[in-house]
Amino acid sequence: MKIKAVIFDATGMVIYGKRFSISFFDDYGIPLKDISLFFDNEFQDCLIGQADLKTVIKPYLTKWNWKKSTVEFLDYWFKTEHKIDKNMVKIINDLKKIKVKCFLATNQEKYRIDYMVNKMGFSSLFNNIYASCQLGYKKSQKSFYQILAKKIKNDFGINKNEVLYWDDHLAHVKLALSLGFNAKLYQDFLSFKREINKYLKI
């Protein structure tokens, strides 16, 4: 089967570097267990569009002794993870030159996906972006991939078995495989490039 599209993961693949919780600890000394309490609980509803990040994070900003506004906190957060792998950008552009569609599939809440689209240039880099907050499900759930497959078929006429899906979480890869995607575990750029060349000869 000819590969007509490649799906990329965001954090850990296209975006590299320290995760926000580590940067926040390094810059402000907030214990990781206190940061994780938010991300493991209220933030999960933000990822599927059932809660607003600006609202649910406010009590935590007080606990974390954040003196500035909520908007300034989100700006600080998003900028700490504004690190795009230039090698990956080149691969994406090379794929698009040979008419292979490039999509981003990511667990994100609405404010950060807006930042990615408008501030990180992802709207022009990818043919389309599929975020958990828009689909209503996370990548750990079957419905994420079922809806993703339908949207790619409806929007681009591409079947899921014509898609090469990459993720740096093995559980996500296994779930995508079980639902008919050609899924691969992303471990590092060099092995990714070798593998993708087998399919696409770029």
Q: What is the pLDDT of residues 122-142, one digit of tens each?
A: 999 999 999 999 999 999 999
CA distances from 138 to 45, 156, 197 (A): 10, 22, 29
Integer Rg of the chain from CA: 17
On whether both 37 and 127 belong to a single domain, the answer is no
Domain enclosing residue 52, as ranges: 20-80
On whether both 165 and 89 belong to a single domain, the answer is yes
On whether both 92 and 127 belong to a single domain, the answer is yes
On whether both 139 and 54 belong to a single domain, the answer is no
Cα–Cα distance, 88 to 86 (Å, whole number): 5
* Residue in the block written with tokens 């974390």: 64
pLDDT digits (tens, 9 = 90+) for 154-183: 999 999 999 999 999 999 999 999 999 999
Cα–Cα distance, 107 to 188 (Å, whole number): 20
Cα–Cα distance, 166 to 105 (Å, whole number): 9
**Structure pTM?**
0.94
Overall domain count for the chain? 2
From 42, 64, 80, give the residue that closes a domain: 80
* Residue in the block written with tokens 């030159």: 97
